Structure 1
Amino acid sequence: MKASNLARSLLALFLAVLASASGSGKSEITADQLLKIVPKSKTCDNPPAPGECATAEQAAPFINTSFDTYHVTSPAEKAAVISLMAFESDDFKYNKNHFPGRPGQGTRNMQMPPYNLKYAESISELSDKLGPVRDDPSKVLDLLLSDEKYDFGSGAWFLTSHCSSDVRDALKTGSEAGWKKYISDCVGTTATDDRKAYWTRAAQALGVGSD
């Protein structure tokens, strides 16, 4: 009887560990991890653009919500999206384009206005408000910035709606080549050393291996 009880206990322990491991892909990003990626996001004291800055602690829950909403579970994909947002927003200081100041460009990954319109169209909660302003890029952006979950959700939305399966498969390998493919073939820009620095920190913070 004692042996049987011990076996049951061991089985329960094994199943608990297995369940925990199976859910590891859905582990949440912490503020501490974000600080390793974006050290300057520790504080928003004296922000360059009042009302736009977000700290790592403020950003973390909305980033996690975005990954849940768009079913992004790969640590390598998460690292790429976070590094993109951190780079484009200058360490989470901005959510509008200030240099050169292009009207309607913004959210944390600094999407161009046509993408912001598509993004807004995909959000059912904004459907009633979008109609009257859809032809005004600045007002569309204002809608997206009205809630941090939309502001920080743009990176995951763009990944899942505009990156091909080939790009995502390459990105999931965690390799530098996969990340470069994401930047060049999906984001549509050059994988500069400055961008790579953010991605390297993100990959390290999230435990992503790279080649």
Structure 2
Amino acid sequence: MHALTLLSAFLAVGNAMPLANIAARDLTAASLAADLLTIAPTTATCDTSVKYSNECRTNVEAAGPILQSFKKYGIDNVNEQAAVVSLMLYESGQFKYNWGHFLNGADQHEPGKGTRNMQSATFNEEYARTIFSADEVDKAKASGADAVLQLVSPNEYSFASAAWFLKNKCTAAQRTALQSGSQDGYQGYVTDCIGGTMDEDRIDWWTKSKAALAG
């Protein structure tokens, strides 16, 4: 009951104070890295002693690829940028994971699931086909879904998949609502576009991302 009360409070604040449909400020890799550090201070370093530490990336390592994804896929509205950043922070454990290692609470990998927004194997194959030749993807697919995931695992692709998904999978109406900065718009993005569920952590990352990226 307490958790529901807290979530309701977050929702009320988000609905009462939507940000305007404004263009993003002129980001650089350095300024975005600083914003990411403000949003998620733990991204400053990677703990090499933990499991899957090879997948961890710092705020500095993430900033450049994320910025390029905004440019490549035309994500120039600050509220959309905040949604993309918050999604990746939420799904990747603050940039600690690049592959989906956890299934139903257990340390278990779902074949083909990964990238920083933890796309399914189906979406990762579709995404890969926009980057690589049909022969390259078909050859990887013949070896299994994880081989396709491996194609899109490098930073330049992994940190760009969330922007690709927003551009190619969300409807015009969903994007317009998201651009408004309203809670309803963000909730529609999470539940209707990416097929996720709302919780307090999503709201927290979204709120912090909006504030930092708005400057």
Q: Give the match's secondary structure for 1:206.
A: helix
The CA deviation at 1:127 is 4.0
Relative to structure 1, is the Cα distance of residues 24 and 187 closer, same or farther in structure 2, using a 3 angstrom cutoff?
A: closer
Structure 2 equivalent of residue 37 of structure 1: 39
Q: Give the match's secondary structure for 2:202.
A: helix
> Are the aligned partners of 1:126 and 1:143 in contact in 2 as well (CA < 8 Å)?
no
Instruction: Tell me, yes or no, if structure 1 residue 80 matches structure 2 residue 87.
Output: no
> Are the aligned partners of 2:87 and 2:117 in contact in 1 as well (CA < 8 Å)?
yes
Percent of paired sites with the same residue: 40
Runs of 4+ aligned residues of structure 1 deviating over 3 Å after TM superposition are 23-26, 125-128
Relative to structure 1, is the Cα distance of residues 118 and 193 closer, same or farther in structure 2, using a 3 angstrom cutoff?
A: same
Aligned residues between the structures: 185
Q: Partner amino acid for 1:89?
A: S
Structure 1 equivalent of residue 161 of structure 2: 154
5 Å matches for 1:1-211?
25-28=25-28, 30-46=32-48, 47-100=50-103, 101-123=109-131, 125-135=132-142, 136-145=144-153, 147-207=154-214
The CA deviation at 1:25 is 4.8
Structure ID, larger Rg: 1
Relative to structure 1, is the Cα distance of residues 121 and 48 closer, same or farther in structure 2, using a 3 angstrom cutoff?
A: same
> Are the aligned partners of 2:25 and 2:214 in contact in 1 as well (CA < 8 Å)?
no
Give CA deviations for 1:130-183 in whole Å, capped at 9, x if unaligned.
1212242100001111x2110101000000000000000000001111111100
What 5-or-longer segments of structure 2 have no aligned partner? 1-22, 104-108
Larger RCO (CA under 8 A, 6+ residues apart): 2
> Are the aligned partners of 1:26 and 1:73 in contact in 2 as well (CA < 8 Å)?
no
Q: Distance in 2 between matches of 1:103 and 1:134?
A: 11
Using structure 1 for the length normalisation, give the TM-score: 0.82
Q: Distance in 2 between matches of 1:178 and 1:96?
A: 28
What 5-or-longer segments of structure 1 have no aligned partner? 1-22
The CA deviation at 1:24 is 5.5
Q: Distance in 2 between matches of 1:162 and 1:193?
A: 24
Q: Distance in 1 between matches of 2:81 and 2:88?
A: 11
> Are the aligned partners of 2:35 and 2:213 in contact in 1 as well (CA < 8 Å)?
yes
Q: Distance in 1 between matches of 2:70 and 2:134?
A: 22
Across the aligned residues of Structure 1 and Structure 2, the Cα RMSD in angstroms comes to 1.8
> Are the aligned partners of 2:99 and 2:115 in contact in 1 as well (CA < 8 Å)?
yes
